[in-house]
Structure 1
């Protein structure tokens, strides 16, 4: 909403505003881009103009949307999903991502999934089995092993630590 509002204040009518992307009906001049960049930076956003950086941001956006989408029914693997959405060969995508970001797409995907697991554990609305199902893990054991490998903690230990740090209102 902030991005759309600020573009409209500057006199531009965005055709669409999605996570990480604004589409306009016309090409912008260098001066217009600089003006928009100044306004967006005041809100903590940055403008990405070169094609490779745009592709990296699209990869990250697709992964974040995939992981944080409730009840996603993705039946293909990550490589097929990204290739079909970005219209690029997966080898090109993964090599570019690794070169620019310094980690593999798979590791980035796993770290996003683990962050989502942490979030769901803290909310305490779902069982570990339900979380594993939501995030398309083959089993709770697979989720637990991956969680421990990334965080050094088991999901139940992480949940215990989080709940021990919280105080009930009457204890405050």
Structure 2
């Protein structure tokens, strides 16, 4: 089985766009998930080039080197965990990354910091804060419910972390919510 790794593929709409571009080129995927496409067969050089061009025009990028693939896999696991999981189950991020990616956490952490210029933990916090913003904008959950859903130990801890990252309290953010959210691939 042949796999492709794609940068900036962070949501279900992204999966649909990638599928559409592959369909236009007659490239069959056996499975598409965030950041990754499994193919029935390896692509020819011309097919790879055509796919690379098609994906670039819609804001995606094929990833060729091993380090970049690992970085994208780390980001995909975190984005999926924060934005797409509906479980209130507690988890340990380092254990989850180690088990999912089959690499020692210290290797993953050092690689991520070296390439991204930030730590996995800071990236994880940034994603959680974006999710908090989203939930505040929707105005369907209390801050206590948001804290519970995102596995914060308390509302106070969530509020302190939110203010540290955004410079605003959650309640102030809620009042001025326009233009405060970022696309996930820009976090």
TM-score of the alignment, normalized to the shorter chain, above 0.5 = yes
Equivalent pair of 2:88/2:148 in contact (CA under 8 Å): no
Alpha-carbon separation, structure 2, partners of 1:29 and 1:49: 15
| Aligned partner of residue 32 in structure 2, secondary structure | strand
Q: Tell me the residue number matched to 1:29.
A: 44
For residues 108-166 of structure 1, the C-alpha deviation after alignment (integer angstroms, 9 at most, x for no partner) is 00000001101111111100000000100000011001001111111111112238xxx
RMSD, matched Cα: 1.4
Alignment size in residue pairs? 163
Runs of 4+ in structure 1 deviating by more than 6 angstroms, as ranges, are none
> Is 1:129 the counterpart of 2:137 in the alignment?
no
Counterpart selection for 1:79 from 89, 94, 119: 94
Instruction: Please give the TM-score of this superposition, normalised by the length of structure 1.
Output: 0.89
Greater gyration radius: 1
* Greater mean alpha carbon deviation, residues 49-58 or residues 125-134: 49-58
Are positions 1:113 and 2:145 aligned together?
no
Assess if the C-alpha contact under 8 Å between 1:66 and 1:72 holds in 2.
no
Counterpart for residue 164 of structure 2: 149
| Structure 1 unaligned regions, length at least 5 | 164-172
**Partner Cα separation in structure 2 for residue 31 and residue 162 of structure 1:** 46
Deviation of 1:29 after TM superposition, in Å, equals 3.0
**Greater strand percent: which structure?**
2
TM-score by length of 2: 0.83
User: Aligned partners of 2:82 and 2:19: how far apart in 1?
Assistant: 25
Name which of 26, 33, 40 aligns with 1:11: 26
Counterpart in 2 of 1:100?
115
Runs of 5+ consecutive residues of structure 2 not aligned to the other structure: 1-15, 179-187
Does the CA-based 8 Å contact 2:90-2:151 persist in structure 1?
no
